[in-house]
Chain A
Amino acid sequence: EIVLTQSPATLSLSPGERATLSCRASQSVSSSLAWYQQKPGQAPRLLIYDASNRATGIPARFSGSGSGTDFTLTISSLEPEDFAVYYCQQRSNWLTFGPGTKVDIK
């Protein structure tokens, strides 16, 4: 099983700041990594697929990068609606999710 590790567990930032979230895989997943945003009481929303492709309707301030075992989700300038939990997910070998990074307001 491929294990995904996300860091940090919590990121405290202010609106307008840049957020950098990390996801590391226990073995290479090539570019088969997605990122999701989840707000309380809501279903997850797909942000990025195949490491760097923005999903339909996702603002340009969200970007993904990386390949192999190390991946990054960057939010260039946090909007109030971006404070949420973010999960990575790999589909290279079955399906697994990371434990999540909570982005909260500083």
Chain B
Amino acid sequence: EVQLLESGGGLVQPGGSLRLSCAASGFTFSSYAMSWVRQAPGKGLEWVAAISGSGGGTYYADSVKGRFTISRDNSKNTLYLQMNSLRAEDAAVYYCAKGGEVVVTFSYFDYWGQGTLVTVSS
């Protein structure tokens, strides 16, 4: 059974940093691209960042480029999102999501974690 378990969310001040983690199990982690998708309270879904299965390719939405870094440790089956210079508009539930196709980086998402809430406030 595929499982994705996010952690690391919480309250942070504007300008602060936070690191999210997503522990994956139930599939060959290194074979699939992974993404972070966020959802602000009462709003729709926004893709944030993607990383290829090997970790060699990383891609970002313009809204977070230069501030967020996606990475993965395939030996630990874990995905990360380092978030720096956080703004009020970054407040959201952050989901990790598994790509639906082997090797393909930009794919649909066949499994999602339960999400972790990031609150940015002074």
Residues of A within 8 A of B (CB): 34, 36, 38, 43-46, 49-50, 55-56, 87, 89, 91, 94-100
Contact = CB atoms under 8 A, between A and B. Distances in A.
A95 B59 CA distance: 10
Nearest to A42: B114
12 contacts: A34-B108, A34-B109, A38-B45, A44-B95, A44-B112, A45-B112, A46-B100, A87-B44, A91-B106, A94-B59, A95-B47, A97-B45
Given A87-B45, A100-B44, A95 B100 contact: no
Contacts, number: 51
A96 B37 CA distance: 10
Given A49-B100, A91-B107, A95-B35, A43 B112 contact: yes
Interface residues of B, number: 19
B73 interface: no
The 10 closest A-B pairs by CB, nearest first: A34-B108, A43-B112, A95-B47, A97-B45, A49-B108, A91-B106, A100-B44, A99-B44, A46-B110, A87-B45
Interface of B: 35, 37, 44-47, 50, 59, 95, 100, 106-110, 112-115
Contacts of A96: 47
A56 B47 CA distance: 23
Nearest to B113: A43
Contacts of B44: 87, 97-100
Nearest to B111: A46
A91 B108 contact: yes
Contacts of B100: 46, 49
Nearest to B112: A43
Nearest to B48: A95
B23 to A, nearest CB: 15
A95 B110 contact: no
Contacts of A100: 44-45
B18 to A, nearest CB: 20
B47 A97 contact: yes
